[in-house]
Amino acid sequence: MLFKRSISPLIATILLIVVSVILITVVLTWAKGFTQSTTNKATDLLDQSKEIPRTGVFWQTSLLGDQLILRNQISDDIEIKGYKISSTDYNSDYFWLNSYRPLETNITFSPSTLTPITLVCVPTNKFYLELIDINDQSYTLEINPTTNRSFTSCNTFNVPLWEFETINGSYLISEFEKTKPNNFFTDVGMGISGNVVNIDENTWSFTSDGSTSTFISNGGISYTLGRKYKVEMETLSSSGIIGDDQLYFQRFSLGSNYLDDNDVPIKEVGRHTLTIWCNRESSSYFQLQLNSSTNANIVIRIDSITEIDPLETITDGTNYLENLTAGRKVILSSQAYGSWEFDLYKGNNANPRVQIISNNTSAYNSFLGYMLYIYQDTKVIHFTMSTGSGGSALMVTNSDFVKDLFWYNVKITRDRNNEFTFLIKGPFFTPTPGYDGWTLVSLSSGLNPRVNSNYTTSNYFVIDLDPGDRIANIKLTPEIN
């Protein structure tokens, strides 16, 4: 009888381990080759077709306001020229989304470097950001904003001024700044007329005999036409009869809030804060005059005069576009309903026009749509419908409704019933109750609000300005709040 000796359990276990290792090595080697081959093919495909987005190239580190911080994770520089924000939370009325937005200057993302990119706005919920480089290659990122960040809402399009395309003429973009932001009131060179006594550095006693005007005039300091100033002063004593209109600032115009918080005229004893506008091109100096028709005396101390912002929206550093030569600038805009808001500054001898709804980029009356038009000589504002071969004024203001070299905040709304409303803010306008601080523009002809449904689509927003005209803070909102 023959006996066959079997393999011991130990040896069998070792053999199984060896065979398993060999099999695993073979599989891993094959998989590595397959992956490398597939990756190379995918890379080749991306190089050949620029329409296929590349993912995984950028890594988002943070979203601070409207600024997205990204890191380039490959070994080459990537130069980005624009982007597109895609969000399902907004429909086609929000035309600035789901469409290409150019950057003011290209941004280069170097390898492993944190680099910011500023977006025109940030949707509240998850959205996709498609970055486009100078070779038209795209890179898509999924962005999830957090609710505790302060960013610009996409409900309104804050139009970047540099996005305007020039049709003709030339312009520049500048920053607004105050001419003299600090206190520049001084008694140096102070002129005195009539019975005025200088008690100390900033305090004067005015006495009227009922016939002679008495005043002080700070002729050594020049104030700027169209600028707004705040006067801090105190009336220390007052006697006799002084009418509300008999103690006043000459060579200036008082703003609508020239009285203090208690609505007390400056002839009354106490502290007063006044808002005044310089409305003279020449001889624009400070002059405080007492012109009482009876014997009276008043003692006043002037603490400071400082230049302040002409509008809430026009402050130091605000960018504005100014025409150097007459011409038109345009941006794409499909907005035909909602609100159009902008700050407008009329230059001397200028006829600024803003076409809020336009089917083309042509000038006055050669397009289909609606525009705001300020006439050079009469200072009348027309809100006009352009028919392509003529125009029809829907709203017309009185003469001298606005002044040269002053800033005005303009707002035009149109609801889904095709009702247009024309609102304004600026010097010498009193807010209309129920309009959230705006003044409902009064007219010499037409209606405000006014219904018109002739043109219900748009392709462009056009600014047609003359030398010296300025525009800033353009905001397009498809819905009326």
pLDDT over 60 at 43, yes or no: no
Strands 195-200, 203-209: pairing is antiparallel
Question: Residue 36: pLDDT above 80?
Answer: no
Q: Poorest-confidence range of 69-83, 139-153, 370-384, 425-439? A: 139-153
Do 58-153 and 162-177+313-477 come out as alike in CATH topology? Answer: no
Provide mean pLDDT across the span 151-173: 93
Task: Give whichever of 109-113, 178-182, 333-337 has the largest mean pLDDT.
Answer: 333-337
**What is the reported pLDDT for 28?**
56
- When the candidates are 2.40.128, 2.60.120, 3.40.50, 1.10.287, the CATH number that belongs to 191-308 is 2.60.120
Query: Looking at residues 154-174, what average pLDDT do you find?
Result: 95
CA distance 81 to 104: 8
Query: Confidence band (pLDDT; 50, 70, 90) for 295?
Result: confident
Which numeric CATH code is attached to 58-153?
Answer: 2.60.40
Confidence of residue 200 (pLDDT cuts 50, 70, 90): confident
Tell me the domain boundaries of the chain: 58-153, 162-177+313-477, 191-308
Backbone angles phi, psi at 12, to 5 degrees: -60, -40
**pLDDT exceeds 50 at position 107:** yes
Instruction: Give the CATH superfamily of 162-177+313-477.
Output: Exo-inulinase; domain 1 (2.60.120.560)
Mean pLDDT over 376-390 rounds to 94
Give the number of other Cβ atoms within 10 Å of residue 62's Cβ.
Answer: 12
In which element (H, E) is residue 325 found?
Answer: strand 319-325
Q: Which two tokens stand for residue 336?
A: 């035909």
Q: Which residue has the higher pLDDT, 47 or 70?
A: 70
Query: Residue 400: pLDDT band by 50, 70, 90 thresholds?
Result: very high
CA distance 181 to 307: 5
Phi, psi of 191 (to 5 degrees): -90, 145
b/e sequence 443-471, b meaning 16+ C-beta within 10 Å: beebebebebeebeebbbbbbbbbbbbbb
pLDDT tens for 258-270 read 433 345 678 889 9
* Tokens describing residue 237: 């004593």
Mean pLDDT calculated for residue range 98-126 = 92
Which pLDDT score, from 0 to 100, does residue 237 have?
94
Overall average pLDDT of the 81-109 stretch? 93
φ, ψ at 292 (rounded to 5°): -75, 145
What pLDDT is recorded for position 292?
Answer: 76
